[in-house]
């Protein structure tokens, strides 16, 4: 298979249980694979990555944004594709990129729909789909920004759309999803503290139920069976938890009378 002028880059913790699937989806066509691995990882992730021809760099964890930018800076191809260890480039997306690079790409970057596999079902409705992600761009025009842990691409130039799916093998268990919910709520508290954002009782009263209505009813999450209901409930709970935790932190900062 002809190599595309694309460097695939990844950041990784102990991901020996799933990084192999991600690497297999790109190794045949990527010109380069770069993996920035957390310094303390010992579960065999490095050996799996090197077996697929990846360049592996061990670094202390600096946060999602800094770690992604570190991996991005180590690429050498004219185009880059950011991939997570729980993601797979579908055959449809790979063929679409083949066609894109058969001629000169006209845009600076391209989004792609991400489809998540959740509790034994592909989710194709609600807040989780199409979940367009900007992952492919010219190496000279983009970087990562945002607020940890939510990294956001910052691109200069026109953005186009691809239609092949990036496949996302998300939380393996409900317990894992609960743990992530608590972690993300703590991250939101830090964000509010750092930016001076104030949370009101209206945020607590209306935002959680709105997220449930939007995802489950307006965006047809009910068509994804009980898994769609689970996603809507977790989204509602997560929204409440993060605003409640931020409100709690505000109250803790009030001086005593």
Q: Distance between CA 38 and CA 40 in Å, rounded?
A: 6
* Same domain assignment for residues 37 and 109: yes
- From 144, 169, 194, give the residue that closes a domain: 169
pLDDT at 256 > cutoff 60: no
Q: What pLDDT was estimated at residue 158?
A: 97
* Same domain assignment for residues 46 and 100: yes
Bridge partners, 5 (sequence order): none
Q: Distance between CA 108 and CA 121 in Å, rounded?
A: 34
Give the pLDDT mean for 135-163: 93
* Same domain assignment for residues 32 and 152: yes
Give the pLDDT mean for 83-90: 97
Question: Does any domain span residue 257?
Answer: no
Q: What pLDDT was estimated at residue 254?
A: 59
Place of tokens 């002809």: 2
CA nearest 142: which of 130, 166, 159, 164?
159
- From 118, 137, 169, give the residue that closes a domain: 169
Q: What pLDDT was estimated at residue 176?
A: 84
CATH number at residue 124: 3.90.550.10
* Same domain assignment for residues 217 and 123: no
Give the pLDDT mean for 194-207: 91
* Same domain assignment for residues 55 and 18: yes
Chain centroid, CA 130 distance in Å = 13
pLDDT at 54 > cutoff 80: yes
Domain span including residue 195? 174-252
Name the percent of the chain lying above pLDDT 70. Answer: 98
Q: What pLDDT was estimated at residue 169?
A: 94
Question: Does any domain span residue 25?
Answer: yes
Q: Look up the pTM and report it.
A: 0.89
* Same domain assignment for residues 234 and 178: yes
pLDDT at 116 > cutoff 90: yes
Instruction: State the chain's mean pLDDT as an integer.
Output: 94
Q: How many domains does the chain have?
A: 2
């Amino acid at each position: 298979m002809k190599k595309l002028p694309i460097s695939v880059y990844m950041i990784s913790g102990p991901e020996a249980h799933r990084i192999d699937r991600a690497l297999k989806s790109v190794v045949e066509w990527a010109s380069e694979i770069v993996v920035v691995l957390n310094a303390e990882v010992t579960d065999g992730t490095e050996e799996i990555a090197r077996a697929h021809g990846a360049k592996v760099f061990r670094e202390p964890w600096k946060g999602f944004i800094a770690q992604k930018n570190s991996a991005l800076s180590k690429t050498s191809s004219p185009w880059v594709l950011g991939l997570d260890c729980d993601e797979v480039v579908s055959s449809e997306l790979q063929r679409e990129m083949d066609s894109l690079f058969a001629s000169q790409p006209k845009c600076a970057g391209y989004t792609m729909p991400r489809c998540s596999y959740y509790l034994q079902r592909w989710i194709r409705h609600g807040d989780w789909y199409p979940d367009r992600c900007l992952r492919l761009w010219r190496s000279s025009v983009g970087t990562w920004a945002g607020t940890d842990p939510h990294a956001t691409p910052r691109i200069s130039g026109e953005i186009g759309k691809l239609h092949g799916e990036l496949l996302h093998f998300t939380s393996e268990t409900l317990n894992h999803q609960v743990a992530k919910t608590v972690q993300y709520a703590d991250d939101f508290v830090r964000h509010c503290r750092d930016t001076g954002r104030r949370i009101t009782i209206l945020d607590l009263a209306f935002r959680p139920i709105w997220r449930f209505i939007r995802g489950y009813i307006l965006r047809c999450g009910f068509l994804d069976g009980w898994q769609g209901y689970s996603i809507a409930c977790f989204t509602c709970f997560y929204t409440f938890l993060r605003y409640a935790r931020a409100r709690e932190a505000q109250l803790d900062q009030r001086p005593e009378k």
